[in-house]
Amino acid sequence: MRSKPKLLWIDAVSCNGCSHSFFNIDLSFLDDFELLYHPLLPSGDFKIQSSDILIVEGAIKSNFLRLGFDLNELISKLFFKAKTVIALGTCAVYGGIFGEGLVFNKTSKGKFFKCKDKVINIPGCPAHPEWLFYVLNMLKENKKIVLDELNRPVEIFSYTSHMGCTRNEYFEWKVDAKRFGEKEGCLFYYFGCQGPFTHSSCNKILWNEVNSKPRAGTPCFGCTEPLFPKENLFQTETFMGIPANIPLGVSKRAYLTLSGIAKSLTNERLTKRLIKCENEDKQKDN
């Protein structure tokens, strides 16, 4: 039998959120790995050593100490001693709030760009636990993980977070949410929802198996994208009334034509509240 893959998980500049996200799936599959180090789970004492899989959680930056080492030196040493590196979470992939990513620094090249061939990027703030589960098991079984041009697994990141959103019908018919806290309406036009142009499968592989932010009335903040977090996250940037960012893969003109037609053909059913409370009319009159 082959020996278990050696797995080393290091936290760089992070909030530990990707670790806590990971804790939301059944971790018994980790028995198939030899866990050399994890920042929270029991493991051997930390030492710089070779690994089959290195997981980096968090961004890199200068003048930052980790386990008594300078962070940049520590990550470099671990990186070159690892067969495969998983950059876990938007911080490790693009830098996020706290610093620079491994292969990318926002939209430019990062410190390890030249070695990108051994890196698998799993962005997300936090990264979805099932995405990591998938990558780890594919690696363990020696199966090929097809990656896109940003080194992300296509099985996860060829979707947009818009796909599968329960508010899709409102998007189709251009019925925009006018206020927060209602199950009706699309959050794309007024409330900054980045779902139609964010690479992620949040509405397909649900969070905690039950839900997603847009389903709970919160806009998608594009947390899997290089520039997360952008400014004005709850507002849609528009130019002369046209959203500055339009759905992926469509020309601005085509998008405008389609939304113009949808808007002119009112879908009566979607303009009303889905469920009406008995005293709601009374409340509105007051």
Partner 1 sequence: MKINKKIINKIEGEATLKIYGDKVIEFAEIEFWQYRGIEKYLQNRHYMDALVINPRVCGICGHSHLLATAKVIENAFGIKVSKKAEILREITTGLEIIQNHIKWFYVTLYPTLIQDKSLILKSLSITSFIAKIIAVIAGQFPHNSYIIPGGVTCDLTNLDILRVKEDLKKLQEKIDKIIDKNGDSNDLKRLFEKMDKNIGKGLNRFLVLGDNLYFKPTGDLTFVKEEKTKSLSKNALYKDEFFEVGPLARNLHHPLIKSVYENYQDSVYTRIFARLYEMHLILEKILNEIDKIDMCEPSFIDYTPRNSEGKIAIEAPRGSLIHSIEISDEKIKEYNIIVPTQFNLSNSTKEKPSPAQAALIKEDIKWSDFIFKCFDVCAVCNTH
Judged by the rule CB under 8 A, the positions of this chain that interact with partner 1 are: 11, 13-21, 23-28, 39-42, 46, 64-68, 96-98, 125-126, 179-183, 202, 207-218, 221, 223, 229, 231-235, 275, 277-280, 283
Min dist. Cβ of residue 145 to partner 1 (A): 24
Q: Output 144 or 276, the one with its CB closest to partner 1.
A: 276
**Spatial CA neighbour of 190 closest among 222, 245, 239, 235:** 235
My answer on whether omega of the bond before 229 falls inside 30° of 0, hence cis, is yes
Long-range contacts of 215-220 (CB under 8 A, 24+ apart): 215/165, 215/166, 215/167, 217/180, 217/181, 217/182, 217/183, 217/187, 218/187, 219/187, 219/191, 219/192, 219/193, 219/194, 219/195, 220/161, 220/162, 220/187, 220/193, 220/194, 220/195
| Distance between CA atoms of residues 93 and 86, nearest Å | 9
Q: Output 101 or 126, the one with its CB closest to partner 1.
A: 126
Min dist. Cβ of residue 126 to partner 1 (A): 6
Q: Output 181 or 241, the one with its CB closest to partner 1.
A: 181
Min dist. Cβ of residue 261 to partner 1 (A): 29
Min dist. Cβ of residue 252 to partner 1 (A): 25
| Distance between CA atoms of residues 177 and 191, nearest Å | 8
Q: Output 35 or 147, the one with its CB closest to partner 1.
A: 35
Token code pair at residue 200: 């992620």
Min dist. Cβ of residue 266 to partner 1 (A): 22
Q: Output 145 or 233, the one with its CB closest to partner 1.
A: 233
